[in-house]
RNA sequence: GCCCUGGUGGUGUAGGGGCUAUCAUGCGGGCCUGUCGAGCCCGCGACUCGGGUUCAAAUCCCGGCCAGGGCGCCA
C-alpha cells in the first residue's frame, strides 16, 4: 500500500457514481468519513468534496491481506480507492464500491478536535479553532458553495447590465471619514489605514467616465461590535452608476437579488437540501417604505423611536415583524446619512438614500450621490469633517462628474439571508471579529 | 464597551462544600457478514486561570481570560 499517487487519477466524484455505471471500474479519492467494521464485512464511508459514497469490503470477495489492510484504516485518513461499482438495494443511495486496490495517502491524528459526522455538535468557537476540519462537514461546506454561486451570479448579472469590474486600494491614507472605526497600520514611515469602503474611489470612477462599475472586495471596520451580524472584515459588493438616480439603482439591486436567488435555487439544490433551506424567489419590485412611515410603525409597535434617529436594534426587530421579506426603507433624513448622499429636491431634510432590508437585517444601503462640488464641500463641513482632507477626492468633482448613484451590499449578510444561518461567522471561512485574529 | 448567563475528559453534557465526578460521543482492545446514529463486552480520558473563605473548594466569594445570549457602537 503506497502513500504516493503514482499514476492514479481520480475518475469520478462520489456524486457521479450511480446505477448507470454499474460494473465499471472507478477510482475515487477522499477522506474516510466513517468506518463500520462488522467482522466479516467492513463498510467505509468515503467522503469527497461533493458527497459520500459507501465502500463495501466483504471478506469473502477480497484477499485476506487486502482485508487486513482495510481493517487498519482510521477516520479522516486520505485514501484513493480503485474498485467496481456495484448496484445494491442494501447500500445507501443504491450503489457501493467493491474495492480492488487502495492507497493510504495520509493519516489523521486522533482523536479529532471535533466530530465531523456531527453526532456530537461542537460550539462555534471550537469549530473555528479547527476550521479546516469543521469545513469538512458537508453542512458547513454547503454554505460556501452557495456563497460562491451567489458571488458568481452577482458577477454574471452585473456584467449583463453593463458594469465594469474594478479594483480599488485597501491601503488608504485618510482617517477623516470618522477616524475611530479605521484600522491604523504602518506604511513605511507613515501611518495608513485599511479601507472601510470603496465609496470615494467608486465616485472617482464616475468622473473617469466608466459609467457603471462594480467591485467585490474586503472592507475593514474597527468597531468593537460583538454581535451575530457584525465582523471586522467582510466582503462588500459595491456598485456605482452614472446618469442613473436612486430609483434606477434600487431597481438594479432588487433585480439582482431576485435573479441571484433564482440562480442559487437552480444550481445549489443539494446544498440547500443539506441546510434544510426552502428558498423563495421574491417578486420585484420590492416594497418601499418611507422613513416617516417606519417611525410611525415602530412607535405603534410599542418601541420608542424619535424622528431623525437611525433604527435601533429594537426598531429593526419591530419592522422585521411588520415586513417579513425583502423591502426598501427610503426617504432617510439627510442628517443621519453620509455627506455624499444627495438631499431631496423637495425637502433637503430628507435624502435620496435607501436601505435594503431582509426581515430585520440590513443587507445593503445606497443613495443618489451629491455630484455638485459646492454642495459636497458644504455637506462635508456640516458633518464636522475637514474638506482639505478630501482634496484628492474633491478634485474629481471639479472637472465634470455626471449625476450618479450606487450601493453597497454585504455579501455575508446576503449569504445569511440565502442560507438561513443566524451567525455571520458561519458565512466566512476564517472570520475576523473583536477577539479572533487566528486562524 | 455595558448587562445577564456560563466555563467539567478530544467533543457535547449532568452534578454543585467531604464518597471511585454522570451520561453520550470519541479513542484503545475484543466479538460480530449488510451496516447506514450499527450492536455487545472490557479499558482510557476532565472540574478555565489566579487569589480568598474553610478542617476541607470543581462547588462559595473576588479578579482575569474566554464563551453564549442581549444591547451599544456600525461616516
Cα A387 to Cα A76: distance, rounded to the nearest angstrom: 59
Omega before residue A216 within 30° of 0, cis: no
Residue A224: what pLDDT? 81
Omega before residue A439 within 30° of 0, cis: yes
Residue A197, CB, less than 7 Å from strand B? yes
Instruction: For chain A, give every domain's residue range.
Output: 14-106, 134-427
Residue A436: what pLDDT? 86
Alpha helix locations (H) across A236-372?
246-267, 269-274, 291-300, 313-322
Cα A365 to Cα A120: distance, rounded to the nearest angstrom: 40
Residue A388: what pLDDT? 86
The three cell numbers of residue A198 are: 470603496
Residue A48, CB, less than 7 Å from strand B? no
ipTM, interface predicted TM-score of the complex: 0.88
Residue A285, CB, less than 7 Å from strand B? no
Are A223 and A387 within 8 A, CB to CB? no
Residue A220: left if φ>0, alpha if ψ -120 to 50, beta else—which one? beta
Give the DSSP H or E segment for A380: helix A373-382
Q: What would be the CATH architecture of the domain defined by A14-106?
A: Beta Barrel (2.40)
Residue A437, CB, less than 7 Å from strand B? no
Which nucleotides of strand B lie within 7 A of protein CB? 1-2, 10-13, 24-28, 31-39, 66-75
Pick one of 3.65.10.10, 3.90.1420.10, 3.50.50.60, 3.30.930.10 as the CATH number of A134-427: 3.30.930.10
The three cell numbers of residue A175 are: 482617517
In angstroms, how far is B11 C1' from A15 CA? Answer: 29
Report which DSSP code applies to A351: B
The residue written with cell numbers 452577482 in the block is: A154
Residue A181: what pLDDT? 79
In angstroms, how far is B64 C1' from A389 CA? Answer: 42
Residue A180: what pLDDT? 53
Between the two ends of chain A, the Cα-to-Cα distance in Å is 34
Q: What is the pLDDT of residues A59-99, one digit of tens each?
A: 989 999 999 999 999 999 999 999 999 999 999 989 999 99
Omega before residue A172 within 30° of 0, cis: no
Residue A390: what pLDDT? 86
In angstroms, how far is B12 C1' from A127 CA? Answer: 12
Burial of A6 (0-12, 13-18, 19+ CB in 10 A): exposed
Residues of chain A with pLDDT under 50: 179
Residue A179: what pLDDT? 46
The residue written with cell numbers 405603534 in the block is: A300
Residue A177: what pLDDT? 55
Cα A233 to Cα A218: distance, rounded to the nearest angstrom: 6
In angstroms, how far is B13 C1' from A82 CA? Answer: 41
- Candidates A354, A359, A369, A352; CA nearest to A409 is A354
Write the CA distances from A371 to A338, A379, A401, A405, integer angstroms: 14, 12, 6, 9
In angstroms, how far is B41 C1' from A41 CA? Answer: 20
Are A331 and A350 within 8 A, CB to CB? yes
Are A375 and A414 within 8 A, CB to CB? no
Residue A203, CB, less than 7 Å from strand B? no
Strand partners, A238: A215, A408
Tell me the backbone φ, ψ of residue A86, rounded to 5 degrees: -125, 120
- Compute the half-sphere exposure of residue A327: CA atoms within 13 Å on the CB side of its CA: 17
Residue A349, CB, less than 7 Å from strand B? no
Amino acid at each position: 500500500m503506497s502513500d504516493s499517487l503514482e499514476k492514479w487519477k481520480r475518475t469520478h466524484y462520489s456524486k457521479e457514481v450511480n446505477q448507470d455505471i454499474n460494473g465499471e471500474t472507478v477510482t475515487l479519492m477522499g477522506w474516510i468519513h466513517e468506518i463500520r467494521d462488522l467482522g466479516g464485512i467492513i463498510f467505509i464511508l468515503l467522503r469527497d468534496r461533493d458527497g459520500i459514497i459507501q465502500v463495501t469490503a466483504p471478506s469473502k470477495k477480497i484477499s485476506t491481506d487486502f482485508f487486513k489492510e482495510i481493517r487498519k484504516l482510521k477516520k479522516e485518513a486520505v485514501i484513493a480507492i480503485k474498485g467496481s461499482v456495484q448496484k445494491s438495494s442494501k447500500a445507501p443511495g443504491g450503489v457501493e464500491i467493491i474495492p480492488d486496490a487502495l492507497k493510504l495517502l495520509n493519516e489523521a491524528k486522533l482523536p479529532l478536535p471535533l466530530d465531523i459526522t456531527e453526532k456530537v455538535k461542537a460550539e462555534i468557537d471550537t469549530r473555528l479553532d479547527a476550521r479546516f476540519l469543521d469545513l469538512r462537514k458537508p453542512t458547513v461546506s454547503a454554505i460556501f458553495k452557495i456563497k460562491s454561486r451567489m458571488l458568481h451570479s452577482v458577477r454574471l448579472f452585473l456584467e449583463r447590465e453593463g458594469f465594469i469590474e474594478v479594483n480599488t486600494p485597501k491601503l488608504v491614507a485618510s482617517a477623516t471619514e470618522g477616524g475611530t472605526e479605521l484600522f491604523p497600520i504602518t506604511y513605511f514611515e507613515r501611518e495608513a489605514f485599511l479601507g472601510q469602503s470603496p465609496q470615494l474611489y467608486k465616485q472617482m470612477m464616475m468622473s473617469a467616465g466608466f459609467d457603471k462599475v462594480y467591485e467585490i472586495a474586503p472592507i475593514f471596520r474597527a468597531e468593537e461590535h460583538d454581535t451575530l451580524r457584525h465582523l471586522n472584515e467582510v466582503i462588500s459588493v459595491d456598485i456605482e452608476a452614472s446618469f442613473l438616480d436612486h430609483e434606477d439603482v434600487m431597481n438594479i439591486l432588487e433585480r439582482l437579488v431576485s435573479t441571484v436567488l433564482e440562480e442559487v435555487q437552480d444550481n445549489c439544490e443539494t446544498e440547500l437540501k443539506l441546510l434544510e433551506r426552502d428558498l423563495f424567489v421574491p417578486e420585484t419590485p420590492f416594497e418601499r417604505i418611507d422613513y416617516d412611515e417606519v417611525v410611525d410603525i415602530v412607535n405603534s409597535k410599542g418601541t420608542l423611536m424619535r424622528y431623525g434617529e437611525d433604527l435601533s436594534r429594537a426598531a429593526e426587530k419591530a419592522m422585521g415583524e411588520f415586513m417579513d421579506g425583502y423591502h426598501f426603507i427610503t426617504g432617510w433624513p439627510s442628517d443621519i446619512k453620509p455627506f455624499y448622499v444627495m438631499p431631496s429636491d423637495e425637502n433637503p431634510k430628507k435624502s435620496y438614500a435607501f436601505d435594503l432590508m431582509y426581515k430585520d437585517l440590513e443587507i445593503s444601503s445606497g443613495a443618489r450621490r451629491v455630484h455638485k462640488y459646492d454642495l459636497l464641500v458644504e455637506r462635508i463641513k456640516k458633518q464636522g469633517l475637514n474638506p482639505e482632507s478630501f482634496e484628492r477626492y474633491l478634485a474629481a468633482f471639479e472637472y465634470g462628474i455626471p449625476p450618479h448613484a450606487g450601493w453597497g451590499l454585504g455579501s455575508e449578510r446576503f449569504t445569511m439571508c440565502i442560507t438561513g444561518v443566524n451567525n455571520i461567522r458561519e458565512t466566512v471561512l476564517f472570520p475576523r471579529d473583536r477577539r479572533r485574529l487566528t486562524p
